[in-house]
Structure 1
Amino acid sequence: MTKQNLATKTDDRFATLTFEREVAAPVSALWLAWTAPAARAVWAAPTPAVTVDFIEADTRKGGREVSICKVEGQPNIRCECGWLELYPQARSVNYEVISCEGESLSASLITADFVDLGARSKVIVTVQLSSLVGDMSGDYQQGFDGGLDNLAGVAERTMILQKLIRAPRSAVWGAWMNEKTLPQWWGPEGFSCRTSRIDLREGGEWVFDMIGPDGTVYPNHHHYNAVKPQERIGYELLWGENGPKHADAWASFDEADGATTVTLGMVFSTAAEFQSAKGFGAVELGYETLGKLERFILKQ
């Protein structure tokens, strides 16, 4: 990862800040790490002392994101982001309003430009800042520095699978978010699922074993932290019931001309786990799973 920061100030109220990161990940992974709510929740906190809770997340043009930043012993900070433009893998534009205890502290316009460098990519973030209470440029500099360093690390351990399914979104969602049908197709070729508990609502969970063709049992636990009907789900992947987390995952569903593009993303907990997953064929096995979903839907 390489980085560059620039700052231009006209007075204490206005500043233009520019941040640049070159990342060892393709632009597709960087873009989704920047925009997908499940991924943003992983990298948004600039330091370990900050906890970020996402209250609302709707990443589409005209959509809004609201988060609360918490630091022990300090008042909570509210961040509202509104997406003004989204050009996939090229540019995003959003406004951001920061407030504390009902008082607005700053407003800014944030433009992120993405550059495809093949196996690598680059993001250039320009922040046009208006400080409403004091000079906030130092806080923004620190916050974006830490957040973009985290973003680069997340993008480098993000796995993205996409598949176009020739079926309407309602059919794809219905096969995925149905407690009876999900276990019927989930998993690679030759694998089956044995469910202990399943509740596909937000806050629910799926505790199950995946059983391989040779009879090997792989304990799994999915914990669902976001369910936006027919649009996206977010969940944590645990190694067995209440085991250690190995990834934050999401699935999104986009319909056009009667077909649905399914995007399945996973941010692995460590770079080592990401490399291990790639090594044992997680990408290929993931596409087998999405292929089983497609065949299941088309047979209905």
Structure 2
Amino acid sequence: MATTGSGGEPDHTTTDREIVLSRAIGAPRELVFEAFTQVRHLSQWWGPEGFTTTTRSFEFRVGGDWAFVMHGPDGTDYQEWITWTEIVPPERIALVHGEYRDDPNAFESVLTFELVGEKTRITMRTVFPTKELREEAVQKYHAIEGGEQTLGNLAAYVAELTWNETTPKGAED
């Protein structure tokens, strides 16, 4: 099964355990990367539409963790845990994401930030331990739609940051 990204084109290089999502964002690569490095940014955009995030702890460094709760629009709370395994500013972030530290069902993700003209193409490649866990994420948790929405939230957030940084005081009135 091929996974599709934002452009709708199949990615034939993926395996049956992967989800690959990609989006061009109209903001500098350094700013898009920074949106992942500080909890004050993440709390503004992380998650699918209608979700909010409460951080319990956050340390952005290799070996550091982000423990948080995603609050669904239906009131369901999802305990989440991310451990950063590689950080190469402003090009790449690798992480392990599960419900808790050492979750045997955790998946690995690599995010790349590619400068494309004046835009940044972010690509998220996620590999699940098994095909069954990937299918559960897609069917039960709507991982592809949720990932697309999360990237959309990121794009809107950094666009607002870029607009605020380039707009003279009083121009928004």
- Class of the TM-score when normalised by the shorter of the 2 chains: 0.7 to 0.9
Verify: 1:196 aligned to 2:61, yes or no: no
Corresponding residue for residue 98 of structure 1? none
Question: Which structure's residues are more often strand, by fraction?
Answer: 1
Q: Does 1:226 align with 2:110?
A: no
Q: 1:249 aligned to 2:109? A: yes
Aligned 8 A contact 2:47 2:150 in 1: yes
TM-score (norm 1): 0.49
Larger radius of gyration: 1
Counterpart of 1:238 in structure 2 is 98
Runs of 4+ in 1 over 4 A off after TM superposition: 118-122
> How big is the shift at 1:256?
1.7
Match of 1:183 in 2: 43
Q: Quick check: 1:186–1:192 contact (8 Å CA) kept in 2?
A: yes
State the alpha-carbon separation in 2 of the partners of residues 256 and 288 from structure 1.
21
Match of 1:299 in 2: 160
Instruction: Tell me the alpha carbon deviations over residues 199-221 of structure 1, each in whole angstroms, 9 at most, x when there is no partner.
Output: 11111110001000111100000
SS in 1 for 2:40: coil
Aligned length: 157
Q: 1:290 pairs with 151, 165, 171, which one? A: 151
Three-state SS of the structure 1 residue aligned to 2:132 is: helix
Q: What is the deviation of 1:222? A: 0.2
CA distance in structure 1 between the aligned counterparts of 2:10 and 2:41, rounded to whole angstroms = 37
Does residue 157 of the first structure (1) align with residue 9 of the second (2)?
A: no
Give the C-alpha shift of residue 241 in structure 1.
4.3
Q: When the two structures are superposed, what TM-score results if normalisation uses the length of structure 2?
A: 0.83
Unpaired stretches in structure 2, ≥5 consecutive residues: 162-173
The alpha carbon displacement at 1:242 in A equals: 4.2
Deviation by residue 1:36-68 (Cα, 9 ceiling, x = unmatched): xxxxxxxxxxxxxxxxxxxxxxxxxxxxxxxxx
Amino acid at match of 1:164: A
Letter in 1 for 2:114: D
User: Does the aligned pair in 2 maintain the 1:221–1:242 contact within 8 Å?
Assistant: no
Aligned-residue offset at 1:229: 0.6
CA distance in 1, matches of 2:137, 2:10: 18
Structure 1: gaps spanning 5 or more residues = 1-23, 30-117, 123-153
Specify the code of the residue in structure 2 equivalent to 1:173.
F
Quick one: structure 1 residues 119 and 214, their matched pair in 2 at CA, closer, same or farther if it must change by over 3 Å? closer
Aligned-pair Cα RMSD in Å: 2.2
Shift of 1:119: 6.9
Q: Percent identity?
A: 32
Structure 1, residues 184-206: CA drift from partner, whole Å, max 9, x if none? 21000110111111011111110
